[in-house]
Amino acid sequence: MKIAKRNNLPLDQFINLALYDKNTGYYMKKNPFGKDGDFITAPNITRLFSEIIAVWTFTFWKSLGSPKQFNLLELGAGNGEMMKVINETLINFPECHNACNFIIHEKSDFLINEQRKNLNSKKFSWLLNLEKINTKPTIFLANEFFDAIPIKQFFKKKDGWIERFVDLNDPKKAEFKEEKIDIQKIEKNLNFEISKNQSIIEYSPDTFKYLKFICETIQKNDGGMLIIDYGYADTKMHETLQAVNNHKYSNILENIGDSDITYNINFNSFEKFIDQFSAINSIFTNQKKFLMNMGITERAKIISKNIVFSRKADLFYRVKRLIDEKQMGELFKVMLIKKKKNNFSTGFAN
């Protein structure tokens, strides 16, 4: 990767460069999804996942009063597979499908081209600047979106907090550095005490910008956001930063621009941030409970009745990957952000 000579970069700026540099960024030059990429997301494991999200969208739309027009907006749509299946599934609910304005928010031109090829429909539009969204109720979908947004890391030392930087003077010998920071300034901007009882902090300034805008939009125009991502709900934060290259973990400071850099979402910090908005709340579960509550195993049984054994075995193997606690079932969490006055809990009831 060619990098213009730079000195110390804060970790989030380094990740932004590695993932989103226009010419050499990981997401800007290749399709990282599927067996030929570096990782496989749930919509690419089985279309049942996306069908379940479509059915959930329909039921949530009903809870909003079945508005005659609404936006279904996916943040970071990968190769477009989830939106494709949601569209095909919602056709079975004509009133909802006719009311639905399908929108994708994507910053990678490469992935937009992949999505256009996969979707091939005038039903879809792309929106780079979320602030240009219309005033219709919006249901936001974020499947493995927030884990790809660059983060900062802070570590508590005896004499205060330090921020992690990356020295890129020689990109082939990139190394971590650290600088002292004023944690109270950061907390003032966030409007909550992110450092309380912590020794490590991982957080993304851009993530909280997204959450702020989306919570304000839901308050103003109605709607909600479904977040599905790997993470944890502990009050105590952990260091979770990692790089993946060719389906294997790799060194963050090597193969810059050729590896995905990601981290585990701390959903407790999301919840704290959302609490600032008086009309908004969130509910939370893991992927296993959500998909089971939405009837994924029953759906798999219905589909498998008339297919040959080998395809039946493959289908249940794929569903197992999504719901098994040792695979994606427990690692992946599901959060719904919505208006407090909306008592909707489909998929989240224990």
- Are the C-beta atoms of residues 208 and 191 closer than 8 Å to each other? no
User: What pLDDT score does 305 carry?
Assistant: 81
User: What pLDDT score does 284 carry?
Assistant: 95
User: What pLDDT score does 1 carry?
Assistant: 45
- Are the C-beta atoms of residues 61 and 70 closer than 8 Å to each other? yes
Count the neighbouring beta carbons within 10 Å of the beta carbon of residue 297.
15
Among 124, 28, 129, 117, which Cα is nearest to 71's?
124
User: What pLDDT score does 91 carry?
Assistant: 96
Q: How far is CA 127 from CA 69, 134, 185, 284, in A?
A: 17, 11, 32, 28
Length of the chain in terms of residues written: 350
- The single-letter DSSP state of residue 10 is E
**How far apart (Å, rounded) are the C-alpha atoms in residues 64 and 41?**
29
- Are the C-beta atoms of residues 11 and 153 closer than 8 Å to each other? yes
Q: Is the dihedral of CA 59, 61, 66, 68 positive or negative?
A: negative
Count the neighbouring beta carbons within 10 Å of the beta carbon of residue 274.
18
* pLDDT tens, the chain, 350 aa long: 444 445 689 999 999 988 888 888 887 766 655 555 545 788 888 889 999 999 999 999 999 999 999 999 999 998 899 999 999 999 999 999 999 999 999 988 888 998 999 997 788 999 999 999 999 999 999 999 999 899 999 999 998 999 999 998 877 788 899 999 999 998 888 888 888 899 999 999 999 999 999 999 999 999 999 999 999 999 999 999 998 877 678 888 888 888 888 999 999 999 999 999 999 999 999 999 999 999 888 888 887 788 878 788 888 788 888 888 888 878 999 999 999 999 999 999 76
Model confidence pTM above 0.85: yes
Element holding 143 (H helix, E strand): strand 138-143
Q: Which domains can be identified in the chain, with CATH numbers?
A: 22-150+204-339 (3.40.50.12710)
Question: Helix 47-63 and helix 81-90: axis angle, to 10°?
Answer: 60
